Amino acid sequence: MESTPRYGSHLSIAGGMHRALEEAMRLGLGSLQVFTRNQRQWRAPPLTAEAAKAWRHAVKATGWSDPAARIVSHNSYLVNLASPDREARRRSITRQLDELERCETLGIGACVLHPGAHLGVSRTPREPNRLGAAPSKDELLGLRRIARSLDELHRSLPGYAVISCLETTTGSGTNLGYDFSHLATIRSMVAQPERVAICLDTCHIVAAGYDMSTPRLAKGVLDEFDERCGIESLRVVHVNDSVGAVASRKDIHTHIGQGICGDACFAAILSRRELCGVPMILETPKDGLCNGSPWDLANIQRLETIRRLRRTRTRARAVASVWVMVMCALGAITACSVGGCSIFQSKRAAQAPNTTPRRVVAANPTVEENAALETAGTLQLRGYHDEALALFEDLLAKNPLLPEAFVGVGDVRFAQGRYGDAEPNYRRAAKLDPAAYGAQYGHGRSLQMLGRAAESIGAYQRALAANPKSAEVNLNMATAYLSLGDARAASRYGERAVELSPKNAAAHVNLGVAYERLGRAADAIARYQTASELMTPTPQLLMNLVNAYVADRRYPEAVNTAVALTKLASGPETFERLGWAEFRAGNYELSSAAYRQAVVLDPKYWPAWNGIGVNALNRWLASDKRDGEAAAEARRAFRASMNSLPDQPKVLKLCTTYGL
């Protein structure tokens, strides 16, 4: 049995699929997830013999004895096997067939796919996902369509080894798969259930309503999965933390330890004996570095720490005590008695109360202070914030002129999301040592998080003076200038960030936003496309792409991207963008349908009501004002919009001009 989980990541195939394998080897990963083709398009060039050969050569170079069990593909977000539209479902089946054929050719053992959206009556945004309840009529019909689609795929590909892995979802809009029972139902319906497995996404299940914040709750969720689906059906795990709260339905991934999933969630999965050998794939942001290390490695280190050390709060404190004993043995610090004072106490605590401070300006830390700073820094990196904070504060109690300790306190508070507490500590450190990069950078980003963008720019300028090659600072400068409306300055810093860190997806996105605001739509599209190859596309990234395609008059691509957007995040905002893209493409009936779906999801979403109104108004005018039904619909839509947002001069003018 393997002693370490098969940690992996979704990596870019830019430059060829084999590049992802080479990057996985460079990072020392034990598994990998890739797109086998451009996931934003329905059609793609066939897999060439040269590409397949380069891939097989790279697979052999990994030295993996079982690569099919370690390499995973993720299919296109465009695919919807649950669609009630026969033509749309036929197109999805064709797309999935191509994906499975590619996997079989390349020796990829599992293909992850989202189950799909039934596109019928959806729950309201405030109605909770009723986990464990019987599926609604529309949900059941959607589950049956998925099963029939899978059966058709299996009949078309007899004897194929690749497994289709249905991924858990957040349950937004009409998406299926948010309930374990949905996945169990699909597997029970297909003729060959052995060809269908499950991919569990930690962010998705928590956002769907499965609370795993304590060891007891986390174990209960996995036991429920085992009872409904069978733990042996779990072939892939996406280990992502969640920005969205429990039952929020928000699909927003973040770094391990920076969301709300909780250590118990990851500890339960990583310590589950039956999951030994299952690929544990990160789909977290790849932006920049974490203390000089790629984010994937930082997240894996965090997962390993959780698996080995932090099962309970008591275990965390025990680890901290081990660090104390090590330092004590080295003579660097002495521990307090178990009386209730701070965890650490410096040898200098024995100085007389009236002793004159040893220095009045910042200086290099002493050997003792360096040892304590290193200990605190290690604890902080491992996520033991309380223990690290206690040590940093103890250092400052003995030496209030130690900038490194102020930076440490700032780093802890920033990691906890307490930006108002982080800022004065960074500011104090910067005052003590104006040339300290960490102090100035920390001060800048805390100011930025507090909405004080103009002030943050000054701190970032000082950080660049200390380290002009910092991609993180250039990236944050671009973001700050964008928030201040200065796209030209933002583009300069964005270009520098991309130059310094060409694989930083966030840098490409920021630069794309700057280009878009400067009217350079084609350049913006190029940046967004590069970002989507470097990261798992987010709803906001796809939204940006839709806007840029429309600005560049590339309407079919705008529509295709908007369709993918609604699959990724089925909300009123995304359907409104689809309606807008269809309108610009001249597909007015499809535009109206998308706008209507938006107001079904949120009856007060006024932009979609305006879209319905404009389409109806155009139909009325095209009929030489004879289509009374269109005029009535326009009148109802504009009134619904103004009921939600009364202050709309343009809408009022339209109604007045046309007597609506």
CATH of the domain at 117: 3.20.20.150
Residue 343: pLDDT above 50? no
Annotation marks residue 74 as catalytic: yes
The one catalytic residue in 139, 167, 179, 516 is 167
Does residue 1 belong to any structural domain of this protein?
Answer: no
| pLDDT at position 619 over 70 | yes
Place 41 in a pLDDT band, splitting at 50, 70 and 90.
confident
Instruction: Inform me whether the pLDDT recorded for 32 exceeds 70.
Output: yes
Beta pairing class for 253-254 and 241-242: antiparallel
Flag whether pLDDT at 44 surpasses 90: no
- Listed residues 343, 371, 399: the one ending a domain: 399
Q: Does 439 fall in a domain? A: no
- Residues contacting residue 583 through CB under 8 Å, at least 6 positions apart: 591, 611, 614, 615
Q: Are residues 207 and 319 in the same domain?
A: no
| Total domain count, the chain | 2
Reported as a pLDDT band with limits 50, 70 and 90, residue 660 is confident
List the catalytic residue out of 10, 18, 37, 40: 40
Do 255 and 298 belong to one domain?
Answer: yes
Work out the mean pLDDT of the chain and round it to a whole number: 88
pLDDT of residue 327: 43
Span 409-423, pLDDT tens digits: 999 999 989 999 999
Please check whether residues 26 and 75 belong to one and the same domain.
yes
Q: Which two tokens stand for residue 127?
A: 């109605």
Angle formed by the axes of helices 505-517 and 487-500, nearest 10°: 150
With cut-offs at 50, 70 and 90, classify the pLDDT of residue 38: confident
Residue 201 known to be catalytic: yes
How far out from the chain centre does Cα 137 lie? 31
Q: Which helix (H) or strand (E) holds 47?
A: none
pLDDT > 70? residue 345 = no
Q: Which member of 253, 302, 310, 496 is catalytic?
A: 253
Burial of 337-362, coded b for 16+ CB within 10 Å and e otherwise, reads eeeeeebbbbeeeeeeeeeeeeeeeb
Please confirm, yes or no, whether 167 is among the known catalytic residues: yes
200 and 334 both lie in a single domain: no
Catalytic residue among 204, 255, 382, 413: 204
Catalytic pick from 6, 23, 37, 77? 77
Helix, strand, or coil here: 610?
A: helix
Active-site annotation holds for 255: no
Calpha distance 206→204 (Å, rounded): 6
| 176 shares its domain with 229 | yes
In a domain, 258, yes or no: yes
Domain range for 321: 312-352+362-399
Last residue of a domain, one of 247, 277, 309: 309
Q: pLDDT digit string (tens) for 220-233?
A: 999 999 999 999 99
Query: Which spans in 399-520 are helix H?
Result: 403-415, 419-432, 437-449, 453-466, 471-483, 487-500, 505-517
Is there a contact between 303 and 280 (Cβ–Cβ < 8 Å)? yes
Contact of 95 with 42, CB cutoff 8 Å: yes
Kindly report, residue by residue over 524-548, the tens digit of the pLDDT. 999 999 999 988 888 999 999 999 9
Within a domain: 382? yes
Answer whether residue 264 is part of any domain: yes
Q: Is it the case that residue 560 has pLDDT exceeding 70?
A: yes
What gap in Å lies between CA 380 and CA 578, rounded to an integer? 44
Catalytic-labelled residue, pool 145, 238, 255, 577: 238
Same domain, 255 and 299: yes
Question: What is the chain's length?
Answer: 660
Residue 195 domain flag = yes
Distance (Å, whole) CA 130 – CA 210: 11
The H or E element that residue 242 is part of is strand 241-242
For residues 187 and 334, state if they share a domain.
no
In this predicted structure, the answer to whether residue 339 has a pLDDT above a threshold of 50 is no
| Residue 207 confidence (pLDDT) | 95
Q: Do 287 and 316 share a domain, yes or no?
A: no
Q: Is 226 one of the catalytic residues?
A: no
Band (pLDDT 50/70/90 cuts) for residue 322 is very low
Residues 222 and 250 in one domain: yes
Q: What is the pLDDT of residue 308?
A: 77
79 φ/ψ angles, rounded to the nearest 5 degrees? -70, 130
Q: What is the dihedral of CA 330, 334, 335, 339, to 10 degrees?
A: 170
390 compared with 340, residue with greater pLDDT: 390
Pairwise CA distance, residues 527 & 504, whole Å: 11
Over residues 556-582, the mean pLDDT reads: 92
Alpha-helical regions (H) of 569-627: 572-584, 588-601, 606-622
Give residue 321's pLDDT band: very low, low, confident or very high (50, 70, 90): very low
Band of pLDDT at residue 338, cut at 50, 70 and 90:
very low
| Catalytic status, residue 101 | no
Find the catalytic residue in 6, 10, 37, 74.
74
235 and 345 together in one domain:
no
Q: Classify residue 275: in a domain, yes or no.
A: yes
Q: How far apart are CA 522 and CA 504, in angstroms?
A: 20
Q: Residue 519: left (phi > 0), alpha (psi -120 to 50), or beta?
A: left
Which of 251, 296, 404, 411 is an active site residue?
Answer: 251
Read off the pLDDT band of 140 (50, 70, 90): very high
pLDDT (tens digit per residue) in 4-19 = 899 999 999 999 999 9
More confident residue, 399 or 326: 399
Q: Are residues 209 and 132 in the same domain?
A: yes
Taking the complete model, does pTM exceed 0.85, yes or no?
Answer: no
Tokens standing for 316?
């965390």
Decide if 10 is inside a domain.
yes
Catalytic residue list contains 443 = no
Please tell me the predicted confidence (pLDDT) of residue 326. Answer: 42
Judgement on whether residues 289 and 319 belong to the same structural domain of the protein:
no
Q: Tell me how far CA of residue 334 lies from CA of 314, 337, 345, 394, 567, in angstroms.
A: 21, 9, 6, 12, 58
Q: What is the pLDDT of residues 195-213, one digit of tens each?
A: 999 999 999 999 999 999 9
Q: Give me the pLDDT at residue 61, please.
A: 94
Strongest mean pLDDT among 34-43, 358-367, 383-392, 452-461: 452-461
User: So what's the pLDDT on residue 203?
Assistant: 96
Q: What average pLDDT does the segment 321-340 reach? A: 38
Identify residue 83 by its one-letter amino acid code: S
